Chains A and B, each alone.
Chain A
Amino acid sequence: MGLKRYSVFAIVREAMSYHQGWERAWPWPKPKRKYDVVIVGAGGHGLATAYYLGKNFGITNVAIIEKGWLGGGNTGRNTTIIRSNYLQDPSAAIYEKARSLYETMSQDLNYNVMFSPRGLLMLGQTEHEVRGYKRTVYANNLQGVETRWIEPDEVKKLVPIINIAGPRYPVLGALYQARGGTARHDAVAWGYARACSAMGMDVIQQCEVTGVRSEGGRVKGIDTTKGAIDCDKLGLVVAGNSSVLAEMAGFRLPIESLALQALVSEPIKPCMDVVVMANTVHGYMSQSDKGEMVIGGGTDGFNNYTQRGSFHHIEETVRSLIETFPMLSRLKMLRQWGGIVDMTGDRSPILSKTPVEGVFVNCGWGTGGFKAIPGSGWAMAELMARGHSPLTEEFSMYRFREGKFIDESVAAGVAH
């Protein structure tokens, strides 16, 4: 599939012909009868998995099946934060891999994902949190993840609109990752879809999986609303619906689906050029290129597949953020939306083989999947191609049986 490359010359060329010559960014193929690998879920993680299967392992007879539209799930619903300041070594390894891949993603994919390493602060607002984050800084130093602890006066310098004096939640310092930041979430999905299509893979949208066929404990293929498709290997990368697909394949996962919400304000002039996360008050915020304040909150407590959450969580999120950012109280909120996230018992993801041979799962990213997309795809591709990967070793679905948790729930609070 020869897709024309995007470049400044392409813009000049097309400008000469009234921009009539731009071709579709990616094709709309019909499914073939059989593929070597089928990935269910054309969100960031699924597309990245397919991309690295092709790029790193030369496996290009691949279909990526999507029931809705490209990146219409959590890839298009998150608050676009990218960071890798995790406490546990396996987490730091995969998230830092992801963050480092984001650095060159626009060049690698020939698609501008607008990665903006603008710096990220996780506020310490209680003594307990301060100690926790200092511990994370020490851990990060050992892991080779560049973070440092900064004092309140430096926080104030980086974020002039912040109220560090409290009184209820004073800012006692922050865990600062200078190369953390944001990226354009849709572009990540689009860029990968384009790159996958260019390698000859089929990105098949509006095609829902209705069943998983296996024989003698080995996967044979899937049934979809566009017909049956056979495959040798099947990757389930369907955050929010992982349990549903697992049930079709015949096993259960240690996962619950919960609604997580976000909202944006009306656009205003640039006032904050970093990402700020305030985990004590369950809120995190950045300013988009359009000027909207992008705000994320906490999850609802009950199982939910509806992609909408409870209003009182919005209220709680905004109420607590106003305490730390008083100027927010004058802003109107424009839009609010929800996505369904996979929650595991230890708040760490699952990248794993399953009881069905040839079926692999990549799920359980909880509230923080976007930042992990390239690293997750890289590791998942290696797992699917080779049967093992150093990055996924600790993230097996069987770790719960063995008690080998990767406990990030304490370290990260709720907001990822």
Chain B
Amino acid sequence: MLTLECPYCGVKAEETELTAGGEAHLKRYGPGSSDEDFESYLFVRKNPKGVHFERWRHAYGCGKWFLAARCTATLEVFGTYPAQSKEPPAELQAKIRAKRPNWEGYR
């Protein structure tokens, strides 16, 4: 069973307490953007077999959105961090790189 630590309330929540929200760090496009931009924001996904950055909501806890780094091939969780982050924290990236030397980066 998948367990993630909520970075706000510190609760180690198991997945029935959480709602998955899909890929994180997507660039949001607004009015006036091209069709390709909207497509990339709304539908196109990296969907990697390996390290994945994703949004989660602590739905049956504090109710807040947060971000997590997880391996989709092994279900290993690397860490969680607040939703306000523009990119994954440097120490989390270093931790992932130490465990997955061939990791190509979060983009």
Using known A-B contacts A303-B52, A400-B39, A401-B36, determine if residue A256 contacts B47 with beta carbons closer than 8 Å: yes
Number of interface residues of B (CB under 8 A): 27
Using known A-B contacts A306-B73, A312-B1, determine if residue A254 contacts B15 with beta carbons closer than 8 Å: no
Cross-chain contact B45 with A255 (CB below 8 angstroms): yes
For the complex, give the distance between the alpha carbons of A237 and B46 in Å: 18
Cross-chain contact B72 with A304 (CB below 8 angstroms): yes
> Which residues of chain B come closer than 8 Å to A312, judged between CB atoms?
1, 15-16
For the complex, give the distance between the alpha carbons of A300 and B15 in Å: 10
B54 touches which of A244, A253, A302, A345 (Cβ 8 Å):
A302
> Which residues of chain A come closer than 8 Å to B19, judged between CB atoms?
301
> Which residues of chain B come closer than 8 Å to A244, judged between CB atoms?
48-49
Cross-chain contact A254 with B20 (CB below 8 angstroms): no
> Which residues of chain A come closer than 8 Å to B9, judged between CB atoms?
none
> Which residues of chain B come closer than 8 Å to A310, judged between CB atoms?
1-2, 15
Distance (whole angstroms) from the CB of A155 to the closest CB of chain B: 32
Cross-chain contact B46 with A243 (CB below 8 angstroms): yes
B73 to chain A: closest residue by CB: A305
Cross-chain contact B2 with A400 (CB below 8 angstroms): no
B43 touches which of A241, A304, A400 (Cβ 8 Å):
A400
Using known A-B contacts A302-B2, A303-B72, A311-B1, determine if residue A253 contacts B47 with beta carbons closer than 8 Å: yes
> Which residues of chain A come closer than 8 Å to B20, judged between CB atoms?
300-303
Determine if B35 is an interface residue (Cβ-Cβ < 8 Å).
yes
> Which residues of chain B come closer than 8 Å to A247, judged between CB atoms?
48
For the complex, give the distance between the alpha carbons of A305 and B46 in Å: 13
Chain B window 53-66, contacts with chain A (Cβ cutoff 8 Å), 1 for yes, 0 for no: 01000000000000
> Which residues of chain A come closer than 8 Å to B72, judged between CB atoms?
257, 303-306
The secondary structure that dominates the A interface is: mixed
For the complex, give the distance between the alpha carbons of A344 and B74 in Å: 23
Determine if B44 is an interface residue (Cβ-Cβ < 8 Å).
yes
Which one of B2, B23, B47 has the greatest number of beta carbons of chain A within 10 Å?
Answer: B47
> Which residues of chain A come closer than 8 Å to B89, judged between CB atoms?
none
Cross-chain contact B39 with A256 (CB below 8 angstroms): no
> Which residues of chain A come closer than 8 Å to B54, judged between CB atoms?
302-303
Chain B window 12-36, contacts with chain A (Cβ cutoff 8 Å), 1 for yes, 0 for no: 0001100110110000000000011
Determine if B75 is an interface residue (Cβ-Cβ < 8 Å).
yes
B45 touches which of A243, A302, A306, A401 (Cβ 8 Å):
A243
Cross-chain contact B2 with A254 (CB below 8 angstroms): no
> Which residues of chain A come closer than 8 Å to B35, judged between CB atoms?
401-402
Determine if B42 is an interface residue (Cβ-Cβ < 8 Å).
yes
Cross-chain contact B42 with A305 (CB below 8 angstroms): no
Determine if A252 is an interface residue (Cβ-Cβ < 8 Å).
yes
B44 touches which of A254, A302, A304 (Cβ 8 Å):
A254
Using known A-B contacts A302-B54, A310-B2, A400-B39, determine if residue A252 contacts B74 with beta carbons closer than 8 Å: no
For the complex, give the distance between the alpha carbons of A310 and B38 in Å: 32
For the complex, give the distance between the alpha carbons of A327 and B19 in Å: 32
For the complex, give the distance between the alpha carbons of A243 and B72 in Å: 13
For the complex, give the distance between the alpha carbons of A257 and B50 in Å: 12
Cross-chain contact B43 with A305 (CB below 8 angstroms): no
> Which residues of chain B come closer than 8 Å to A301, judged between CB atoms?
19-20
Distance (whole angstroms) from the CB of A61 to the closest CB of chain B: 31
For the complex, give the distance between the alpha carbons of A303 and B43 in Å: 14
Using A252-B46, A344-B43, A401-B36 as known contacts, list a sample of 8 further A-B pairs with CB atoms less than 8 Å apart, ordered by residue number in A.
A243-B49, A253-B47, A301-B19, A301-B20, A302-B20, A303-B20, A304-B72, A310-B1
Chain A to chain B contacts (Cβ below 8 Å), 7 pairs: A243-B48, A244-B48, A253-B44, A303-B72, A306-B74, A345-B43, A401-B38
